[in-house]
Amino acid sequence: MAIVSRRYDCSDPLERTKGIADAVSVIRRGELVVLPTDTVYGIGADAFTPSAVTGLLDAKGRGRDMPAPVLVGSVRAAQALVDDLGTYGQDLIDEFWPGALTIVCRANTTLAWDLGETKGTVAIRMPLHQLALELLKETGPMAVSSANRSGAAPARTAEEAETQLGDSVAVYLDNGPSGDGMPSSIVDLTGAVPRLLRAGAISEERLREVCGVLLSDEDDPAPEPAETPTDEGADAAPDGAVKAAESTQDGRSPAGDEEAKPAGPATRTAAEKDAPPADR
């Protein structure tokens, strides 16, 4: 059966309530949603449904070599997805989340998911946008990429997203124009010392104030890395701009040596199963 897209004007309280409820149902069925964030509009799918993530990549016209990052509605949800935040991860989260900071970490190896060719890493962000957070707290972690066809400009409105993505998306949550479109800053925490992969909305100086030490390609060029997802769902970086440790946000990131295994049936960690609904 063909998908019939529905767009909700979330400036109207009743429409907002209906739209979020419909979006939650759609995500649980393995279909796609367009949602606003604090950067640009994103296209999202259940991170634990491999077919939904594949549908997201197909809708954008991109391959598994540019995997989707993950947006979360709570810090607790993020902690359940990663193996280790490292020495500086919690400090960065405390200072900048929710907000325009994407962190790249080793993924929790007990999770059966398939975001693409991640080489055992995951890029995570908690957006500073009330509607997005409301949705994420109901759905749990979502794979989210910028709401545009690969190579086109990221959508700043739901209408722009619908023009590009059409009926590949079941629900469009229209909350007016998105933020200023400044991409999130990306910090790789998979090594002993944090590495700045992209300076975005949060300056390198602010990040150094928290970390104390922060490598960049200028300080210490990274060795040829493997692919990892850092295209957090609503950033305006052009698709395919950077290849080494690429993210759908197009940043560099040295990924781990361990190959991400194709997922079977979606499973969650014990921490996620035990979490109350608002944190999952």
Q: Is there a cis peptide before residue 276, judged by omega within 30 degrees of 0? A: no
Residue 144 backbone dihedrals phi, psi, to 5 degrees: -135, 130
pLDDT tens figures, 143-199: 999 999 999 999 999 999 999 999 999 999 999 998 777 889 999 999 999 999 998
Instruction: With beta carbons less than 8 A apart as the criterion, state whether 43 and 56 touch.
Output: yes
Instruction: With beta carbons less than 8 A apart as the criterion, state whether 81 and 99 touch.
Output: no
Q: What is the pLDDT of residue 202?
A: 94
- The predicted model gives 101-106 an average pLDDT of 96
**What residue segments make up the domains of the chain, in order of their start?**
6-85+104-181+226-259
Class of domain 6-85+104-181+226-259: alpha beta
Angle, CA of 171, 144 and 270, to the nearest 5°:
105
pLDDT bucket at 216, cuts 50 / 70 / 90: confident
- The predicted model gives 65-76 an average pLDDT of 94
pLDDT score of 75 more than 50: yes
pTM value is 0.80
Q: What is the pLDDT of residue 3?
A: 77
pLDDT cut 90: percent of the chain above it: 68
Q: What is the pLDDT of residue 231?
A: 47
Lowest mean pLDDT among 33-47, 169-183, 196-210: 169-183
Run of H or E including 136: helix 130-139
Task: Look up residue 271 and give its amino acid.
Answer: A
Compute the chain's Rg from CA coordinates. 17
- The predicted model gives 115-125 an average pLDDT of 93
Q: How many Cβ atoms are within 10 Å of 163's Cβ, its own excluded?
A: 13
pLDDT tens figures, 240-251: 323 323 333 333
